[in-house]
Amino acid sequence: MSETLERWHSRRAFILAVTGAAVGLGNIWRFPYMTGENGGSAFLLLYILFVVVLGLPMMMAEILIGRAGRRSPMQALAYLASEAGVSPHWRWVGLFGALTVFFILSFYSVVSGWSIEYLVDSVNGGFVDRTPAEIGSAFDTFLADPLRMTFNHTLFMLLTMSVVAAGVSNGLEKLNNVMMPLLYVILIVLGGYAVTTAGFGAAMAWLFTPNPAAIDLHVVLNAMGHAFFTLAVGACALMAYGAYMPDEQSLPRAVCAVALLDIAVALLSGIAIFSVVFTHGLDPTEGPGLMFVTLPIAFSELPGGQIWLGAFFLLLLVATWTSSINLAEPMVAMLIGAGWRRGRAALLIGALVWGVGLLSVLSFSTLADVHWIGEMNFFALVSTVPPDIFLPIGGLLIAIFAAWRMLPEAAASALGAPATGFRLWRGVVRYVSIPLTAVVLLSSLI
Ligand code: PFF
Ligand code: NA
């Protein structure tokens, strides 16, 4: 076992860490705008389906590899492959995961920077007595300002990498313990407000009235990718956390708790955001700006709205912070596995991700019309292809390794479930999750 390996200090710490990784921009920012762009209830239904039949079993697969290997992802895969006498090339899945999180973190940090900007603005009373139209145009003005965006992106990368450099189990546990429960409180308040708005009924109908006609291959692929993204599955990021998991904990239980919470947070923010959209006649297909335009409007209508708004962005910032720490960890763990010191590894990774993030910053101004693939500028590219394509590919490989290649005894004991539970999990991964992911990926690539 490597000397740098840490251990979470309790079961609760592990669940909080995985929840921290899962709950983030995916729920509060990406879920609502993806739902808006993909036909509402059709997307929602598929996303929940994919979370249950792909996300949950694959999350277990990924974490159990880390737990059985007790090493950084690449080393864990190499170790388990040699233990089972299968090809050592499985370790490259770890490298692919590191590449995936690299690109995801580069845009994740930029968008998290938007929450920093909005936190500061709301504390300064910047949204007091503004009309919805003014709030919308203030967002556009902000996006067109690369310097302000770079400043926030830089700050966010510093926040992230300083925790990673200190070692996740120390830095993260303290942060998670306090902040995550507060975020739920504020989301519930927001949900309560949504119920009182005129658009609440329309929002509920739009989100929950079945609409199979809106389903096409594009919606299916987006919903699948989002299920991976929101659960943080497919990039070996949770594998890195699994390595620190205590021995006596049941993995299936922990994972189900996290997924439920993750869905709940997404639903609450979806309901709140679409209530505002339908109350004010805004456009549900607004795209990545959706949350930043709707929530300031919502909060400005609540008594003491500025305080709620500030608190909301503070907690959102913490949620994205704990996710970005998870995004950075597999890359840093990989360098540590290659003999680097944690602090230096964090510095190098942080600098590289920051640099690539600048391309996303500029995608809202100078580079807005520079198209990389099809109509996509850099931000559009990194915020769709790594989540929707790379994560499912990574998840697929991870699942094949866990359910078909590694020693069944090793997998069973790392799953921490009774024998029937293990067979059930393996059956679902082998005959449902793997084929389904492969079919969706292949049909959309063709
Ligand atoms: N699950 C995070 C969210 O919903 O915001 C994003 C994420 C974290 C994706 C870690 C992938 C990952 F490895
Ligand atoms: Na999430």
Ligand nearest to the CA of 324: 1
**How many residues comprise the chain?**
446
Confidence of residue 6 (pLDDT cuts 50, 70, 90): low
Which atom of ligand 1 approaches the CA of 231 most closely? Answer: 1
Report which secondary-structure segment, H or E, holds 316: helix 305-337
Structure tokens at 78: 């190499």
Domain residue spans of the chain: 12-445
pLDDT digits (tens, 9 = 90+) for 64-73: 999 999 999 9
Q: Please give the pLDDT value at position 175.
A: 72
Determine what percent of the chain is predicted with pLDDT higher than 90: 71
Which atom of ligand 1 approaches the CA of 100 most closely? Answer: 13
pLDDT at 431 over 90: yes
Average per-residue pLDDT in the chain? Answer: 92
Q: Please give the pLDDT value at position 307.
A: 83
Which atom of ligand 1 approaches the CA of 238 most closely? Answer: 13
d(Cα 150, Cα 292) in Å, to the nearest integer?
A: 18
Torsions phi, psi for 284 (to 5 deg): -65, -20
Residue from 174, 157, 170 nearest 346 by CA = 157
Q: Please give the pLDDT value at position 5.
A: 57
Asked if 105 and 353 count as a contact pair (C-beta separation under 8 A), the reply is yes
pLDDT digits (tens, 9 = 90+) for 189-234: 888 888 999 999 999 999 999 988 999 999 999 999 999 999 999 9
pLDDT at 391 over 60: yes
Residues with CB under 6 A from ligand 1: 21-22, 24-27, 101, 104, 229-230, 232, 235, 237, 323, 326-327
For 72, left (φ over 0), alpha (ψ -120 to 50), or beta?
beta
Residue from 58, 55, 48 nearest 415 by CA = 58
pLDDT at 138 over 60: yes
Determine what percent of the chain is predicted with pLDDT higher than 70: 98
Segment 79-86 shows an average pLDDT of 97
How far is residue 109 from each of residues 103, 153, 342, measured CA to CA in Å?
10, 6, 20
What is the rounded end-to-end Cα distance, in angstroms, of the chain?
Answer: 43
Tokens 């007790």 belong to residue: 70
pLDDT at 168 over 90: no
User: What interface predicted TM-score (ipTM) does this complex get?
Assistant: 0.99
Whole-number Å distance, alpha carbon 25 to ligand 2 midpoint, is 7
Q: Which residues crowd ion ligand 2, with CB under 5 Å? A: 22, 26-27, 230, 262
Residue from 166, 274, 287, 233 nearest 429 by CA = 233
Q: Which of 111, 229, 320 to mutate to test the pocket of ligand 1 (most atoms within 8 A of CB)?
A: 229
Asked if 421 and 415 count as a contact pair (C-beta separation under 8 A), the reply is yes
Residue from 344, 33, 394, 40 nearest 215 by CA = 40
Segment 382-395 shows an average pLDDT of 97
Which atom of ligand 1 approaches the CA of 237 most closely? Answer: 13
pLDDT at 262 over 60: yes
The residue nearest atom 7 of ligand 1, judged by CA position, is 232
Whole-number Å distance, alpha carbon 106 to ligand 2 midpoint, is 17
Residue 373, classed as helix, strand or coil, is strand
pLDDT at 3 over 70: no
pLDDT digits (tens, 9 = 90+) for 16-29: 889 999 999 999 99
pLDDT at 178 over 50: yes
d(Cα 22, Cα 278) in Å, to the nearest integer?
A: 28
Torsions phi, psi for 370 (to 5 deg): -90, 110
Ligand nearest to the CA of 112: 1
The residue nearest atom 10 of ligand 1, judged by CA position, is 232
pLDDT at 349 over 60: yes
pLDDT at 392 over 80: yes
Torsions phi, psi for 120 (to 5 deg): -65, -45
Asked if 394 and 96 count as a contact pair (C-beta separation under 8 A), the reply is yes
Q: Which of 33, 62, 263, 326 to mutate to test the pocket of ligand 1 (most atoms within 8 A of CB)?
A: 326
Answer whether CATH 1.10.510 is correct for domain 12-445.
Answer: no
Whole-number Å distance, alpha carbon 228 to ligand 1 midpoint, is 8
Ligand nearest to the CA of 398: 1
d(Cα 232, Cα 397) in Å, to the nearest integer?
A: 15
Tokens 């049941």 belong to residue: 250
Structure tokens at 248: 């006596």
Give me the torsion for CA of 115, 289, 351, 398, rounded to 10°. 110
Q: Please give the pLDDT value at position 309.
A: 87
d(Cα 162, Cα 32) in Å, to the nearest integer?
A: 30
Confidence of residue 4 (pLDDT cuts 50, 70, 90): very low
pLDDT digits (tens, 9 = 90+) for 307-319: 888 888 988 998 9
Residue 90, classed as helix, strand or coil, is helix
pLDDT at 424 over 70: yes
